Amino acid sequence: MLVLNKEGTAGTVVDQSNTAKTMGSGSLEVYATPALCALMEKAACNCIEGCLEEGKTTVGTKLDISHLAATPIGMTVTCTARLIEIDNRRLLFEVTASDGVDTIGKGTHERFIVDAVKFMGKARSKL
């Protein structure tokens, strides 16, 4: 069951694979904004894991974040997502990320509850 203020987390170590230089979002070897976005989505998914009825899942529809500080290779980034709004099938999360020294990102993330089979059928119909 979905409940307000439920939290989920996700973490990763910054390495070559998730730097701005490798991901093409910049030229420096620091944690990439696209990697931060993905980690925030993962934390939101972890927040609601096991809370949806059989056959349902969520898809990300909106991410409004600020990437506030750089994190070098070797540090750990931890993200927390807190469910702050439930509006029928629309879920809104407050997301924050830290590298243990600074808050490196914060904002909101929106997800929608969908029927997995129907959603994939519609997506595949584009082929």
Per-residue pLDDT tens digits for 38-59: 999 999 999 999 999 999 999 9
Q: Which of 33, 57, 78, 108 is catalytic?
A: 33
Structure confidence by residue, pLDDT tens digits, 64-89: 999 999 999 999 999 999 999 999 99
Catalytic residue among 41, 58, 80, 110: 41
pTM to 2 decimal places: 0.96
CA 84 – CA 41 distance, rounded (Å): 15
Tell me if residue 33 is catalytic. Answer: yes
Active site (annotated) includes residue 41: yes
Catalytic one among 19, 67, 80, 109?
67
- End-to-end CA gap in the chain: 35
Give me the CATH topology for the region 7-124: Thiol Ester Dehydrase; Chain A (3.10.129)
β-strand 7-13 against 76-87: which pairing, if any? antiparallel
